[in-house]
Structure 1
Amino acid sequence: MVLFSLVATHTDLDLETVGTLSSGAADVAASVDLPAVTLATCNRLEIYAETPSSSVEAVRESRERLLDAVAEASGLDRETVARSFKTLVEDDAVSHLFEVGAGLDSAVIGEREIAGQVRRSLNEAQSAGTVSGGLTKLFETATRTAKEVGAKTALGSRGRSIVSVALDIAGDMRGDGAAFYRDANVVLIGTGAYAGTTLAQLAEREVPAISVFSGSGRAESFLDERRRFLGERAENVRALSMGELAEAFRNADVIIGCSGGNRQITAAEIRSLAGLEEHDRSLTVIDLALTHDFTPDVADLPGVELITLESVKVAAPEETEDSVDQARAVVAESVQQYLTERRERSADDAIVALRRHTQEVLDEEMERVRKAHGCTAAAEEVEFAMRRIVRKLLHTPTVRARELAVQGRTEDYVAALEAVFGLEVAPREQEGVREKSARRRRAEEFSAAELAQMAAYLQQVPDGGFCRHHKPGEFSIERLPAVAQLRQSA
């Protein structure tokens, strides 16, 4: 299997383009017949995938299929999509993901949200059934590396993030810095991951009045899920209905958009809802949505300051050089360890193939010996000697396989086995095979024999019980009607 990634980030593109590329990103992996994981954040879209062949042509074809899927999902023309992504293969793809997870490639260096986004992208791929064993190992290791960076270095120790920097900018623009929020009235639009992070940040800044609105009607459930984390500050937070939105806008000092929906709030709507024509006041609008929750002309309204992700990117403070260097050293060590283990797993497959081949040859020869001489003491002595010789012969090839794996030359070893012995080395664990979501079988899909077997087993289960090892009432499970009927007639 060959790992590769398609990468479109803030370092190469404007965030408007990244946002458009990300439209429909959740469906891209499921639309191609490849193991794939999509990582979409406020400043990047990255797709990690595996292709079953190491040839350049196979990687190119897999890349083209993914680009087609992104073009279809985003509505952008194919040429623009192809031009927006760079392709990383094998070691480069691994190094990049580990750096991303550690916050080294973020608009705010050392941001703490990105590690959670990497973890969630894997969880979403697992739920959708688009991930493989190899990609699962990759993303889990990247997540662990991010934790190591947080534990071993000073990177991110100040808790900077996209959200915190945006709120800092707003506080400085209003003139009071952190003190501004202790008397502020804030409206938060959205109920996604960034909205959750923003709500936590606002609570930490002791905002006395936070109103949450969701166009999909999820505001109340969003808050219910977070009230216990907010503690006493939950009293300062409430959900807004559509009818309450205008009043909330009129009283707001800050309006924050995190929804990333298809509907953008225009300058005219802000002017009307917030009553700007009636009152001469200051209003700060923070747009944290990648696809923008507000139209650009909001910035032209008198008394309104618009803060966007581009503003955050420009104003983000730099981490100290020492902490960044320490983090890069931790990441580099983790990358090397991961790559070594990955190569050793490939070497193990080759070793198993060689041992299986020699064992089959040995078994064939011993079968001939037994046919000629029977199961005598002499035959046993011959087998013992042959097995000892085989072990000695395999020792050097086994050691050499691991040495070459560390050097990244497993392919040379596999090629030698294929040339000398005609062996085909296949992974013992199909890591590149896309994991399929479990599907519950319908009653009509069971054969008569299967239903009869179920009924026979249920004869041993107490009424109301789950299985013969648990007492009635400990579990409850729906029974197939066909099985129940067979049990009654038994």
Structure 2
Amino acid sequence: MTIFSLVASHQTVDLSTVAHLANGASSLDASELDVETRGLVVLSTCNRLEIYGETAQDSVATDQKAEQDVAEVATAIFEELSALSSLDYSTVESSFDVFFNDAVAHHLFTVASGLESAVVGEREITGQVRRAITAAQEEGKASGNLVRLFDNAANTARRVGQQTLLGARGRSVVSVALDLADDVAEKTWKDRSALVFGTGAYAGATVAALRDRGCQNITVYSFTGRAATFAHKRGVKAIDGASLPQALASADVIIGCSGSSDPLSADEIPAGKRVILDLALTRDFAPEVADLPDTELITLESVRLAAPEEMDSSVQLAHTIVDNAVEEFRIKQKARTVDAAIVALREHTMSILDSELEKVRGHFGCGGAADQVEFAMRRMVKSLLHTPTVRARSLAQEGRESEYIAGLEALYGIEVSQSQEKVVRDIPQADAS
């Protein structure tokens, strides 16, 4: 089995394509794929779509075999996304970068720490990473390896926030967007009225950011009818469809965070001077809204271009923290793999021993002679297992555990299953020294 990730982000793909892919991924069902997987986790944000998974093969794969397995699964996912997003296959395939094994951890840890965001160091992505794995767990789509991967990513992001100044800067997509609005909107935040579309985590972050800037007149609208509950929890006002035209007309700043499948057209926006922030991945406002007189439309692309390149000492330190965390995770994963190999060799050897002991008992019965032979044979097997066990751990530290696994298969016909790792703790200490 092999962990992999398929990544389409603002760094390599236009946001419109990312939005179409995200729409398709929202309906992605692993059971509908032509190949089997052990788990799939979808991480979808305002500027990226990432799909994490684990191939279904039970045996530990060599790098070449792992690459082949991932390519097969990626092709099946691209075909499904093509059908779900109404994009041709070549567009889908060219939109994604493919990672597997150690590269997956490095990418996710970097993303979770905000180092690949449109706003470097933003903290919103960490919560999105946590919610992605939580949702996958609740739906039964997260394998143990994927859970460990995401948990380590969240821990790495926490360390970056604690040990660098990035966490203290408060930079985020929302904060940069509000800065842009502040440059062109009339009045001050204390006197402005804001209308927020959406009730998700992104909308919640937006309401909090507005409050931090002193905005007191905040109204929330939801296309799905969840505004009342959302607004009550945050102490803001909710409106329904009947009140929406008046709310649009009176708002100084309108912020789209919902990603509605039916964006508002220019005809639905009342005349008047206002700023509209369209921060949803799938736009809440049609592009022609930008052509309205006295209306300033700020999109995610505007935010990306306005976000500063913060390649300072804090960013460099953050990258070092990520690199160290990736190495720690790699060592842990290699140890788990080699533990599975140790268990596989032990199970193979002990099965032969048990077979031979049956013959001994058949010949000597259950007397003292049989006990002495069994004691000697078990002691001999323990001694024989000692060196291969020590050698396995040594090779794992050198990153050569695949050689050990290949040797077991070549010499003994043993296929190492990752599921065997769960019983490694049962190996006697003398064997595992």
- Tell me the distance in 2 between the aligned counterparts of 1:331 and 1:355: 36
Shift, 1:343, TM fit:
1.2
Shift, 1:302, TM fit:
1.8
Shift, 1:420, TM fit:
1.5
- Tell me the distance in 2 between the aligned counterparts of 1:401 and 1:218: 56
- Tell me the distance in 2 between the aligned counterparts of 1:146 and 1:290: 23
Q: How does 1:287-298 map to 2 (within 5 A)?
A: 287-298=278-289
Give the 3 Å change call, closer, same or farther, for CA 29–430 of structure 1 in structure 2: farther
- Tell me the distance in 2 between the aligned counterparts of 1:421 and 1:24: 46
Aligned partner of 2:189 in structure 1 is: 181
Shift, 1:29, TM fit:
4.1
Instruction: Provide Cα deviations, 1:113-142, integer angstroms capped at 9, x if missing partner.
Output: 101111111122122222212112111111
- Tell me the distance in 2 between the aligned counterparts of 1:423 and 1:77: 43
Shift, 1:207, TM fit:
0.8
Give the 3 Å change call, closer, same or farther, for CA 260–404 of structure 1 in structure 2: same
Q: Tell me the amino acid that sits aligned with residue 99 of structure 1.
A: T
- Tell me the distance in 1 between the aligned counterparts of 2:285 and 2:239: 19
Correspondent of 2:341 among 350, 354, 372: 350
Say which SS state the counterpart of residue 23 (structure 1) adopts.
helix
- Tell me the distance in 1 between the aligned counterparts of 2:138 and 2:344: 33
Shift, 1:429, TM fit:
5.3
Number of equivalenced pairs: 411
Say which SS state the counterpart of residue 419 (structure 2) adopts.
coil
Instruction: Provide Cα deviations, 1:21-55, integer angstroms capped at 9, x if missing partner.
Output: 11132221444342211111000011112223442
Say which SS state the counterpart of residue 356 (structure 2) adopts.
helix
Unaligned runs of 5+ in 1: 228-233, 277-281, 432-490
Give the 3 Å change call, closer, same or farther, for CA 385–332 of structure 1 in structure 2: same
Instruction: Provide Cα deviations, 1:69-122, integer angstroms capped at 9, x if missing partner.
Output: 111221111121111112112111221011111111110011111011111111
CA contact (8 A) 2:8 2:97 kept: yes
Aligned partner of 2:427 in structure 1 is: none
Aligned partner of 1:477 in structure 2 is: none
Aligned partner of 1:10 in structure 2 is: 10
Q: How does 1:133-148 map to 2 (within 5 A)?
A: 133-148=144-159
Say which SS state the counterpart of residue 340 (structure 1) adopts.
helix
CA contact (8 A) 1:7 1:45 kept: yes
- Tell me the distance in 2 between the aligned counterparts of 1:24 and 1:127: 20
Shift, 1:330, TM fit:
1.0
CA contact (8 A) 2:337 2:421 kept: no
Shift, 1:347, TM fit:
0.6
Correspondent of 2:366 among 367, 372, 375: 375
Give the 3 Å change call, closer, same or farther, for CA 430–220 of structure 1 in structure 2: farther
Aligned partner of 1:453 in structure 2 is: none
Aligned partner of 1:222 in structure 2 is: 230
CA contact (8 A) 1:29 1:37 kept: no
- Tell me the distance in 2 between the aligned counterparts of 1:317 and 1:382: 75
Higher alpha-carbon deviation: 151-160 or 309-318? 151-160
Q: How does 1:64-463 map to 2 (within 5 A)?
A: 64-174=75-185, 180-224=188-232, 226-227=233-234, 234=235, 237-270=236-269, 274-276=270-272, 282-428=273-419
Q: Tell me the amino acid that sits aligned with residue 372 of structure 1.
A: H
Say which SS state the counterpart of residue 181 (structure 1) adopts.
coil
Say which SS state the counterpart of residue 261 (structure 2) adopts.
coil
Q: Tell me the amino acid that sits aligned with residue 162 of structure 1.
A: V
Let me know the Cα RMSD of the aligned residues: 1.8
Aligned partner of 1:36 in structure 2 is: 40
Instruction: Provide Cα deviations, 1:336-379, integer angstroms capped at 9, x if missing partner.
Output: 11111111111111101111122222222222222222333333
Shift, 1:175, TM fit:
6.9
CA contact (8 A) 2:278 2:300 kept: yes
- Tell me the distance in 1 between the aligned counterparts of 2:253 and 2:332: 50
- Tell me the distance in 1 between the aligned counterparts of 2:4 and 2:293: 49
- Tell me the distance in 2 between the aligned counterparts of 1:420 and 1:390: 17
Shift, 1:384, TM fit:
2.2
Larger Cα-atom Rg: 1
- Tell me the distance in 2 between the aligned counterparts of 1:214 and 1:52: 40
Q: Tell me the amino acid that sits aligned with residue 265 of structure 2.
A: T
Say which SS state the counterpart of residue 263 (structure 2) adopts.
coil
Aligned partner of 1:451 in structure 2 is: none
Higher alpha-carbon deviation: 57-66 or 213-222? 57-66
Could you list the runs of 4 or more consecutive aligned residues of structure 1 that deviate by over 6 angstroms after TM superposition? none
CA contact (8 A) 1:133 1:430 kept: no
Matched-pair identity in %:
49
Give the 3 Å change call, closer, same or farther, for CA 88–397 of structure 1 in structure 2: same
